[in-house]
Amino acid sequence: MQQPKSLKDVLKRLYALLDWKQKRNFVIIILIMMLAAGLSQLTPKAIGWLTDDILLQSSLSFSAILPLLLFILTVNVVNELIKIWRRIIVEDTATKTEKKARGLAILSLLRAPLSYFKTNMTGNIHGRLNRCLEGTVKLEKLIFMDFAPAIFNSLAAVVVIFTTLPFVLALPMLLVVPIGTAIVLRQIKTQKGIRVELLETKASMDGTVVELLNGIEVIRITDSVDREKARFDGRSEFLRAKEMKHHIQMAKYDSLKFINEAFFTVLMIGVSSLLAVVGRITVGSVLTAYLCFNQLIKPLEELHRILDELSECTILAGDFFAMLDLPSDFSYRMLPEAASGAPDASNMVQLKDVCFGYEEGELLLRHLNLEIPKGFFLGIAGPSGCGKSSLKNCDEIIVMDHGQISQRGSFDGLLSQPGIFGDMYYGRLK
């Protein structure tokens, strides 16, 4: 199976999976996120206005504060309502995607070659299917519930910071973003191989568990319960050691991210307070800048989780699309004659009104009519004594009770086996 190699390839396949209504919904979601990002910055600005224009006045009354408080309340309520609206649209679109994806995956597996099921354990396939579907749908949700909102909120915070603080202060403050992003990307790059290995190990263990449960009678007869448990204990310990190594590395990178964010937070507070003391900016601007800076680094704190889950979901979605790309079994391939219309009568095996029995008066084949076009695969099934072998070998019979057999063309297969139908198990009509 050829997996999509990058996030771009996976997103292209995922976009092609959507119908026009789902694509329209995602346009609406993007507009909602832009509106929500703008509204989220109004609260810091309103607190700055409250500080500068009202709280610093010599005489203060609650009636002067009330309109601004109502404004902040309205903005936050509206912002939350449109976020709920966004969530409902995303969930509705994601469930439709899951329904369609599940149907396509099942159809692909049902048409897959039998050799695929010989090389992959049934439990492994089942576990992979569920994880791939979950990862594909989660990728869709992750983009529009976490990743894109974080980007829009950060951009809105950057705009407010640049319009509130002097350029010479705002620009150095934004260094927290590229430094933090570089740490996160390094973290993901160094741990990606371990994450893939963990996913594959868990899938293999799931497959083994299902196969063992299917063969529980054999395990009990051979009294091999302890041996199988010991085998699983070893693999579980290997998985635990890998996960602990992964978590230790995660903790190291998390420490670097915390130091980065703490340094720039203190820098922002100290420099903006100094500018307020010398009269370059107002006290309200200090509060606004601090709140916007918090909104800027909050997505940065979640960036590792988002990108880490994005990387994992990309792997799972790639595996899902690779499952969709499984080749169909030969029995599902469209024949040239079937695609173009009526079959060519000059290249087929024909049985016309064939009747035959080994004993007089007992017919195994009764008025059988059958046409096998060129390139056609045929399977014959039925209970014992129904005439399968007689049908397979009836071209060797010299005398029939009734009917006619004609053969045009030849079979491509194991030619050492006699009979018109003998080669049908290995080849097709040529």
The residue among 269, 303, 329 that closes a domain is: 329
Do 223 and 358 lie in a common domain? no
Nearest Cα to 351, choosing from 390, 381, 391?
391
Supply 395's token pair: 């071209």
Exposure pattern of 309-340 as b/e (b: 16+ CB <10 Å)?
bbbbbbbbbbbbbbbbeeeeeeeeeeeebeee
- Please answer whether residues 408 and 428 qualify as being in contact, where contact means their C-beta atoms are separated by less than 8 angstroms: no
Same domain, 202 and 316: yes
Gap between the Cα atoms of 218 and 155, Å rounded: 62
β-bridge partners, 411: 429
pLDDT digits (tens, 9 = 90+) for 47-95: 777 776 665 566 666 677 788 788 888 888 998 999 899 999 999 999 9
What is the tally of structural domains in the chain? 2
Structural domain for 296, as ranges: 7-329
- Pairing of β 348-356 and β 365-373: antiparallel
User: Phi and psi for 351 in degrees, rounded to 5?
Assistant: -115, 125
Q: Do 259 and 376 sit in the same domain of this protein?
A: no
CB crowding 132-164: b at 16 or more within 10 Å, else e: bbebbbbbbbbbbbbbbbbebbbebbbebbbeb
User: Does residue 68 contact residue 54 with C-beta atoms inside 8 Å?
Assistant: yes
CATH assignment at residue 418: 3.40.50.300
pTM of the model as a whole: 0.65
Which parts of the chain sit beneath pLDDT 70?
A: 1-5, 52-62, 123, 191-193, 195-196, 203, 207, 304, 331, 333-349, 357-362, 374-381, 388, 390-430
Contact 146, 306 (CB under 8 A): yes
Specify which residues 348 forms β-bridges with.
Answer: 373
Say whether both 164 and 273 belong to one domain.
yes
pLDDT at 223: 81
Residues 267-300 pLDDT 10s: 888 888 888 888 887 778 788 778 878 877 877 7
Domain end position, chosen among 279, 310, 329: 329
Q: Rounded to whole angstroms, how far apart are CA atoms 133 and 138?
A: 8
Residues 323 and 189 occupy one common structural domain: yes
Count of Cβ atoms closer than 10 Å to residue 423 Cβ: 20
**How would DSSP label each residue in 43-57?**
HHHHHHHIIIIIITS
**Look-up of token digits 């309200």:** 284
Residue 91 lies in a domain: yes
**For residue 343, what is the DSSP state?**
-
Of 301, 329, 357, the position where a domain reaches its end is 329
